[in-house]
Amino acid sequence: MANEPQEPNNNDKKLPGGSPRFGTGLGALVLVALLMIVFVSGFGRLFQGSVEEISYSAFKAQVAVGNVQSVTVEGDKITGTLGKPIVGSAGAAGSKSFLTYLPSFGDPNLLQDLTKNGVVVQTRPESQFSLLGLLLNVVPFILIGWFLFWMYRRTRSQGDSIFSVGQNKAKLYRKTRESVTFSDVAGIEGVKKELSEIVDFLRTPERYRKLGATVPKGVLLVGPPGTGKTLLARALAGEANVPFYSISGSDFMEMFVGVGASRVRSLFRDAKAHSPSIIFIDELDSIGRHRGAGLGGGHDEREQTLNQMLSELDGFEQNDNTIVLAATNRPDILDPALLRPGRFDRRVTVDRPTLKDRLEILKVHGRNKPLETDVDFEKIAQGTPGFTGADLENLLNEAALLAARRGMSSIGNKEIDDARDKLLLGLERTNFVMTDEERKIVSYHEAGHAVVAVNLTTTDPIHKVTIIPRDNSMGVTEQLPEHDQHLYSRTYILDRITVMLGGRAAEDAFIGDITSGAENDLREATRLARKMVLDWGMSKRLHNLALGDEQHDVFLGADISRRREYSERTAQEVDDEIKSILDRAYDKAVSILKEKSAALKRVAEALLEKEELQGKEIMALVAAAI
């Protein structure tokens, strides 16, 4: 129980009795006070007995006729007694006591008149203690004070208000509440191991200190979106058994400058108070962006927040057992000060899953889905290179939705395959009408890609060819690598360009005209050829030269336009080389297709008829045509 974390927001003790009684007590008080005010101001006069208020001139007249016996002057209030009541007066008829007020402009002759007529004059100091006066003066202030205090308490208990704007907003995970564990995170074993080790640091720091090692302060999880960084942190919260404060970088951002910085301060203070503990800052890039950069000038609030974070990271004492874990998919735009040793110096890369990892992730997300027995996760993993964990989860979910739409009780291979096509190639366009001529052109175009691909040695096997129109294409030839590839040889890239140009080559050679359908092919082929020349030094004349800049981001504002670091003459050579690569590839595609024209015609006819062919069917058609 010693480790049982406290709720960070409610450091203040709860009042005994709680707020409900507080509320009714206040209501009663307000009621009493209102009654008193009404009573004092409205009805008070009735209790002054049978005193008649008379006009000042009437008073002077009574003085003049000698009917006034005595007066008491209190500031500008004059009370007194008459010899006999004023005849014909309204109000408290027949009263001998009267009340009047001295005009604000004064009456210098009054005292003279009074003494001349033998009136007994008594004076009293103006302000005199009176219970009513006290209530009138003090009660409103008590009420206002009470109301403010009450608002403060109320808003404090809701945990979010103008009074707590600079407070720590981090969510504190409790082990018992967090349902995600390491078993929900598939693959990425290396990363999991690294993180468990860090937790071990926290729990038994002595073991490491004895060897002279310092416990890391900051660990940065880096990787593309959807690879499971947030998931991993949540799992760690479940496994670590220490208080775990989780906050997203954007939570530090507020309308008021300085709030973010004060949140950082309060977060670190809370975490240190409960050490050993872990702070997790998701989407670090939203505050940790390079200072003084970017389009549109600086951002005061962000910079202050970042500065505060930097100083908190430095402020850890040797025995503060608190580790800061952060995640980002944009390490390139982080401020260098964040990454220097002693801050986020440990970098853990969470990469796109490998084939084996994809298989594991599919198993995790397929756990509670009814699958048909012939569903083969291994094949799906093979067919989804480059998919992240989030993509794979989405794939199975789409498949489940499809199965539901088709009224099935379990998910089959067909649903998974269709879901994959939907994610990769876009939605099918059902009400898209193609003319027969267009269908023929698309068939020959796709058959061109396929036949070139089959006849080159270092290309990926064909997975499927379709002429079903989709969101972003009228037909697709899909190739899939047999295993995850990390290095691409020059032959492989050249072959890839040749396959891409195969579609246009088929149109030209067999339809007799060319169409706009090759746009994407040409763009992709040109991009690859440009990279070959500029980045990979793979052209003949500019051998082993890397002329391309590292891709900089506009966010950095460092260079908005790509800077060119070579001469006009070299630029001309670059263009020539790119063109020559594309020309040679195109010629090669045309010559393959001319030689294999029988195969091309067969594949194109089959596509026209069936709309979709699997890789095996294509191989069979090509083989049969020889």
448 is a site residue for Zn ion (CB under 5 A) = no
Among 54, 247, 325, 361, binds ligand ADP (CB under 6 A): 361
State the nearest-atom distance from the C-beta of 284 to Mg ion, in Å. Answer: 10
521 contact, one of Mg ion, Zn ion, ligand ADP, none, CB 5-8 Å limit per kind: Zn ion
DSSP 554: G
Among 230, 305, 321, 384, binds Mg ion (CB under 5 A): 230
Burial class (CB in 10 A: 0-12, 13-18, 19+), 23: exposed
Q: Find the farthest-apart pair of alpha carbons in the chain and give their distance in angstroms, rounded.
A: 145
Given 227, 305, 443, 539, the residue binding ligand ADP (CB under 6 A): 227
Residue selected from 226, 503, 548, 615 as contacting Zn ion according to rule CB under 5 A: 503
Out of 239, 283, 415, 446, the active site residue is: 446
Stretch that binds Zn ion, among 206-214, 455-463, 513-521, 552-560 (CB under 5 A): 513-521
Nearest distance from residue 449's CB to Zn ion, in Å? 6
206: annotated active-site residue: no
- C-alpha pair distances (Å), 374 with each of 69, 371, 420, 482: 119, 8, 17, 21
Which residue matches tokens 């020539």? 576
Distance CA 503, CA 499 (A): 8
Distances (CA, A) of 308 to 229, 259, 302, 304: 24, 11, 10, 6
183 contacts 232 by C-beta, under 8 angstroms: no
CA distances from 253 to 257, 260, 297 (A): 9, 6, 17
366 to each of 185, 370, 403, 415, how far by Cα in Å? Answer: 13, 8, 14, 14
Q: Which residues contact 375 (CB under 8 A, 6 or more apart)?
A: 366, 411, 412, 413, 416
Tokens of 297: 């000038």
Of 52, 251, 270, 521, which lies in the binding site for Zn ion, with binding defined by CB under 5 A? 521
Residue 415 lies near ligand ADP (rule: CB under 6 A): no
Pick one of ligand ADP, Zn ion, Mg ion, none as the site partner of residue 383 (Cβ within 5 to 8 A by kind).
Answer: none
For residue 246, state whether it binds Mg ion (rule: CB under 5 A). no
How far apart are the C-alpha atoms of 607 and 466, rounded to whole Å? 7
Which residue type does 436 have? D
Contact 215, 208 (CB under 8 A): yes
Least distance in angstroms from the C-beta of 469 to ligand ADP: 31
Site string for Zn ion, 460-499 (x = CB under 5 A): ----------------------------------------
Options 217, 229, 299, 358; binder of ligand ADP; rule CB under 6 A:
229
* 21-29, 30-38, 225-233, 609-617 -> range binding ligand ADP (CB under 6 A): 225-233
Residue 226 touches which member of Zn ion, Mg ion, ligand ADP, none, C-beta under 5-8 Å by kind: ligand ADP
State the minimum distance, in angstroms, from the CB of residue 378 to ligand ADP: 17
Q: Determine, following the binding rule CB under 6 A, whether residue 188 of this chain makes contact with ligand ADP.
A: yes
Per CB under 6 A, the list member of 390, 434, 509, 511 interacting with ligand ADP is 390
Tokens representing 106 are 């004064």
Report how many residues bind Mg ion under the rule CB under 5 A. 1
226 binds ligand ADP (CB under 6 A): yes
Count Cα neighbours of 125 within 13 Å in the Cβ-side half-sphere. Answer: 4
Q: Should residue 449 be labelled a site residue for ligand ADP when binding is judged by CB under 6 A? A: no
443 forms part of the interface with Mg ion (CB under 5 A): no
Would you say 281 or 452 has its CB closer to ligand ADP? 281
Peptide bond into 140 cis (omega under 30): no
Which residue stretch of 70-78, 225-233, 388-396, 519-527 sits at the interface with Mg ion (rule: CB under 5 A)? 225-233
| Total Cβ atoms within 10 A of residue 167 | 20
| Smaller CB separation from Zn ion, 267 or 450 | 450
* x/- map, 310-339, ligand ADP, by CB under 6 A: -----------------x------------
Distance between CA atoms of 610 and 225, rounded to whole angstroms? 38
Which residues is 99 bridged to in the sheet?
Answer: 53, 79
Nearest in space to 157 (alpha carbons), one of 268, 6, 30, 11: 11
Q: How far apart are CA 9 and CA 603, in angstroms?
A: 68
Question: Which lies closer to Zn ion via its Cβ, residue 371 or residue 505?
Answer: 505
Provide the minimum distance between the beta carbon of 8 and Mg ion in the complex, in angstroms, as a whole number: 22
Q: Which residues bind ligand ADP (CB under 6 A)?
A: 185-188, 223, 225-231, 327, 361, 364, 389-390, 393
Q: Which residues bind Zn ion (CB under 5 A)?
A: 503, 521
Q: Which residues bind Mg ion (CB under 5 A)?
A: 230
Catalytic annotation, residues: 446
